[in-house]
Amino acid sequence: MQRMVGVEAPHFEMKTVDGAGENFGKVSLNDYKGKWLVMFFWPLDFTFVCPTEITGFNRKIDEFKKMGAEVLGVSTDSEHSHKAWINTAPDQGGLGQLEFPLASDMTQKVARDYGVLVEEEGIALRGLFIIDPNGVLKYSVVHDLNVGRSVDETLRVLQGLQSGGLCPIDWQPGDAPLNV
């Protein structure tokens, strides 16, 4: 996989459903110019670990918004599958209402461009990307399908990136940056 962090994020255009599970739309990287974007991929709708992550991001959406960041969830499922998942109650394996859109990468182009596509299965690994307001990819983490991500760690990294300073191991918001 080629180096991606520190360079312009790969462009994307995808179909979406809004977090209310009502309206279809489209989204592109250009829609996020001037904003921070936290974009995360999950393998499949109606699975087990994925809804814990998606609803976890949703519970912290106000913190992301206070930091000037938008959140976008992506999988290789259709926008219709996303809509059905949002409109299914959580106690029945659904998501319920969200405060951010879910995008459909049925062509698998975006997952491939971001280096998270499992070609033989047509699904995405758990990839998470933070893109700055200028469209530069600042953070990338990709891992196995069985382990969910930490929303708190994503917030910490976003705050560190926004601080503009050198943030040492275990840096927390409010901590002094390194002075060199």
Tokens of 21: 């599970």
| Cα–Cα dist 139/160, whole Å | 11
| Cα–Cα dist 31/29, whole Å | 5
Long-range contacts of 5-8 (CB under 8 A, 24+ apart): 5/137, 5/138, 5/139, 5/140, 6/136, 6/137, 6/138, 7/136, 7/137, 8/135, 8/136, 8/137
Report yes or no: 111 and 43 within 8 Å, Cβ to Cβ. no
Active-site positions read 50
